Structures are given as C-alpha cells and as structure tokens.
A = this chain, B = another copy of it.
Amino acid sequence: MPNKKIEELPGKTVERLSQYRRLLFNSVELGKTNIYSHELARMMNLTPVQVRRDLMLIGYSGSQSKGYVIKDLISLIGKIIDSDTGQRIAIMGMGNLGRAITSYFTGKREKLSIVAAFDNDPQKYDRIIAGVPCYHINKLKEVVQKENIGIAILTVAPQATHEATKLMLEAGVKGILNYTSVPVSVPEGVFLEEYDIITSLEKLAFLVKK
C-alpha cells in the first residue's frame, strides 16, 4: 500500500489513529501482543470495517487468524503521525488548568514535550511549575525561538486570550490549542483546535433534560 498520500490524511483519521494507539498502549500494559479489528472497533464504538479501512490507509493489514501485531501497529502509527524530531509545546497561562494539563500530559508521549510555560504573575514566572520552567511573557518570543516550540496551549484568562494568541503567532508557533472560553482565529498556515468545557457541559445538560 503506497504511503504517498499520508500527508493528506484527513484530520478525523489522524484523530482515530491517535485513539487506536492509545488503546494499543493500554493493551500492551494488559499483556496482549495481538488485537483484532473488531476488538479495536468495539472499544471505540466504531465498525470493524472503519478500523480496517483506517489501517489500510496507512499501509497495514493484519492476519485473519492472529489480527494485528500490536507492537508493529504502534510503531507504524508513530511513523505516520509523530514528527521525527518530536514536537515541542508551550503552555500559555499557568493557572489551575495550565498546571493540570502539564501534570497530566508529562511523559505520556515520547514525541511531544511541554518545554516551557508563560505567565505574567510574579508568583509564577522564574520558577519550575509542574516540572516545566515558567517564564515572564516578555521572554516569550526569545524562548519560543530558542526552544523551537511549534505548538501553544492557551489556558489564560478569557480577557487575555486575544493578546496571548497574537504574541504566540508573532513568536512563530504553527499550532494553537485553545482552552479558553474565547474563540480565536489564526492566519493560513497555522492550525487551531478549540475546546471549551462549559460548552460540552451545556450540551450534555440540554440532552439530559429532554
């Protein structure tokens, strides 16, 4: 199966590959070496056909009798979705949420590292917080460039969102994960993911009350 179209994989497929890998890591911890498409499908509430299609898209097909070899599949997914050199990440805003995300995330993925945090609170900058050096905002551009940071996670207060985004874009980040309650926009060539806890809860609350 040719891999020449790997760069054109849809975002949704990349999300599922990331989710498959996460389940494969769990399965390794449970001592499994092989897994069937129907097992992956059940764990993810997908059809086995969808799982097989996704994995064929990255050039992998298992054996009918033994399923997929977990170790090989983890390694292949890594080759597809990870950057060779790893991706370096900064946290913008080291409040409760910034700290929680940093602690949660640290060490979870070899190729993704949170290497710096920024805050303008004197209680926070010039310290190590949750294992990561926290700098004053005025060091942002210098640190982003020196540390070769490509992605910023925004966990600042709502009113600081636009300014934080502007600074990160000026410093040259190419991806922004926005966890504030204020939507932002980014120029072409920069990628944006946004997630708001309150929206998820309000949607659930609406569905539940029906």
- List residues of chain A with CB under 8 Å of any chain B CB: 7, 9, 11, 14-15, 18-19, 22-23, 26, 43-45, 80-83, 87, 89, 96-97, 99-101, 103-105, 108-109, 111-112, 150-151, 153, 158, 174-177, 181-183, 185, 191, 193, 195-210
Contacts and interface: CB of A to CB of B under 8 A. Distances in A.
Q: Which of A97, A196, A202 counts the most B-chain CB atoms under 10 A from its CB?
A: A202
A18 B206 CA distance: 10
A201 B96 contact: no
A176 B205 CA distance: 10
Contacts of A108: 198
Given A7-B210, A109-B201, A175-B207, 14 more contacts: A11-B207, A18-B198, A18-B203, A22-B199, A26-B182, A45-B183, A45-B185, A82-B205, A87-B205, A99-B100, A151-B208, A153-B201, A174-B208, A175-B204
Each complex incorporates copies of this chain amounting to 2
B103 A14 contact: no
A147 B67 CA distance: 46
A14 B206 contact: yes
A193 B96 CA distance: 22
